[in-house]
């Protein structure tokens, strides 16, 4: 096979179907085949289901992430300390867009944010849906997004724009209506190459895997977390389990809302709706409205500030996040994104 030839999925599918594991390089080649447009929907679904039934290894996921990154459009903003905070989705909680709102607050603290996201796949409202409702343009070209991060400290990186080859896999995933390895790949393929991330997961067992994969790929600090009530966010409804990757090592710890200086509230208090409802919630909390919505956002922004290094702990992070809201700095980030200032 020449250097430019697309790998065939057939021999790789045979390995997985036999219950054997792919090497990191083989998984990389498998992703190239999946995204090539030359692999049939039947082969794509067979590969994804065979992986799901057997369970993906860390080596396989690492190779799949590398292959997905290679097929993506990438940008390199000239900003140190960029972060992203997002979830895998699929938690079925029906909450408003907590991590999206928290990202605006983090940017309001002066931390550059490369927010990677998409439209909703299973919930009523994804990050792209709510930002669009808030008046944030989604159709920025990659060069415009790079410049926006450098100049304003925030850009939304619309997954459809940066992962065009996913159009070959998307319809199959839609028809399967099952969780596949792609559910956890998205947060690990940020087009800006962020090395500090807070990633919420629908399955607590995935936390260690994500940290192992991102550690192998050179990430500096990661919190992979699963919150009370099944949230893929830091939860104000109780205890959040966190696996941290820092300095090449992992540790486990728990977070409660009071760590960031906010009150606990039941999960029902965070319920959202469609894009219009969720946009209204975000606008109100950025305007200073107190309550569970604000508390959830402060808690998650605090976590991201710790991961980035601006805050030494969640208490300091919570104070900084609250100040960004109360001073209007977080609201000004949204105004800049809308082109109003």
pLDDT in the model for residue 93:
74
CA distance 197 to 187: 9
123 pLDDT tier (thresholds 50, 70, 90): low
For residues 339 and 168, the model is more confident at: 168
In 3-state terms, what secondary structure has residue 154?
Answer: strand
At residue 275 the predicted structure's pLDDT band, cuts being 50, 70 and 90, is very high
- Residue 1 pLDDT class (50, 70, 90 cuts): very low
Residue 145 confidence (pLDDT): 96
* pLDDT (mean) for 105-126: 87
Confidence of residue 245 (pLDDT cuts 50, 70, 90): very high
What does DSSP assign to residue 168? G
Burial class of residue 70, CB neighbours in 10 A (0-12, 13-18, 19+): middle
DSSP string, 72-132: S-----S-TT-EEEEE-------B--HHHHHHHHHHHTT--EEEEE-S-SSSS--HHHHHH
Beta pairing, strands 196-200 & 83-87: parallel
Which residue's structure tokens are 């100049």? 151
Question: Does position 209 have pLDDT exceeding 50, yes or no?
Answer: yes
pLDDT reported for residue 4:
63
Question: In this structure, what token pair is assigned to residue 306?
Answer: 């710790």
Average pLDDT in the chain: 94
Q: Pick the range with the lowest mean pLDDT from 11-25, 55-69, 82-96.
A: 82-96
Structural domains of the chain, ranges and CATH numbers in brackets: 9-70 (1.20.970.10), 83-338 (3.40.1030.10)
Mean pLDDT throughout 180-197?
A: 94
Question: Which pLDDT band holds residue 304 (cuts at 50, 70, 90)?
Answer: very high
The answer, yes or no, to whether residue 122 has pLDDT greater than 60, is no
Each residue of 10-31: pLDDT tens digit?
999 999 999 999 999 999 999 9
* pLDDT at site 256: 99
Contacts of 88 (CB under 8 A, 6+ apart): 183, 184, 186, 187, 199, 200, 201, 202, 206, 232
User: Which H/E stretch holds residue 226?
Assistant: strand 221-226
The number of helices, as runs of H, and strands, as runs of E, in the chain is: 15, 7
Instruction: Summarize the confidence of residues 318-336 as an average pLDDT.
Output: 98
The pTM (predicted TM-score) of the whole model is: 0.94
pLDDT for the residue 177: 82
Contact (CB, 8 A) for 243 and 208: yes
Tell me the C-alpha distance between 76 and 143, whole Å. Answer: 9
Q: What is the DSSP string of 241-304?
A: EEEEEETTEEEEEEE-GGGGT-----GGGGB--SHHHHHHHHHHHHTT--SHHHHHHHHHHHHH
């Amino acid at each position: 096979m020449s250097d430019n030839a697309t790998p065939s999925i057939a021999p790789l599918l045979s390995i997985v179907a036999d219950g054997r594991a792919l090497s990191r390089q083989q998984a990389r080649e498998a992703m190239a085949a999946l995204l090539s447009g030359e692999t049939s929907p039947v082969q794509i679904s067979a590969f994804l289901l065979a992986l799901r039934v057997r369970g993906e290894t860390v080596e396989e996921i690492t190779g799949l992430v590398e292959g997905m990154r290679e097929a993506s459009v990438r940008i390199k903003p000239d900003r140190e300390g960029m972060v992203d905070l997002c979830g895998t989705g699929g938690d079925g909680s029906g909450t408003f867009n907590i991590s999206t709102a928290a990202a605006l607050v983090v940017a309001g603290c002066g931390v550059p944010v490369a927010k990677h996201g998409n439209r909703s796949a299973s919930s009523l409202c994804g990050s792209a849906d709510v930002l669009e409702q808030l008046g944030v343009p989604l159709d920025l070209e990659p060069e415009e997004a790079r410049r926006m991060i450098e100049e304003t400290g925030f850009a939304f990186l619309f997954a459809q724009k940066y992962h065009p080859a996913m159009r070959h896999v998307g319809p199959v995933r839609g028809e399967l209506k099952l969780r596949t390895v792609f559910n956890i790949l998205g947060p690990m393929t940020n087009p800006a190459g962020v090395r500090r991330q807070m990633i919420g997961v629908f399955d607590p067992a995935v936390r260690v895997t994500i940290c192992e994969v991102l550690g192998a790929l050179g990430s500096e600090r990661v919190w992979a977390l699963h919150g009370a009530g099944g949230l893929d966010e830091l939860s104000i409804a109780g205890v959040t389990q966190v696996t941290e990757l820092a300095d090449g090592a992992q540790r486990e710890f728990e977070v409660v809302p009071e760590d960031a200086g906010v009150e606990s509230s039941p999960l029902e208090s965070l319920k959202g709706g469609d894009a219009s409802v969720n946009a209204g919630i975000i606008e109100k909390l950025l305007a200073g409205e107190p309550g569970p919505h604000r508390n959830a956002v402060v808690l998650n922004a605090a976590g991201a500030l710790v991961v980035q290094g601006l805050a030494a702990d969640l208490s300091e992070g919570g104070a900084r996040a609250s100040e960004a809201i109360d001073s209007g700095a977080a609201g000004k980030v949204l105004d800049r994104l809308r082109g109003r200032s």
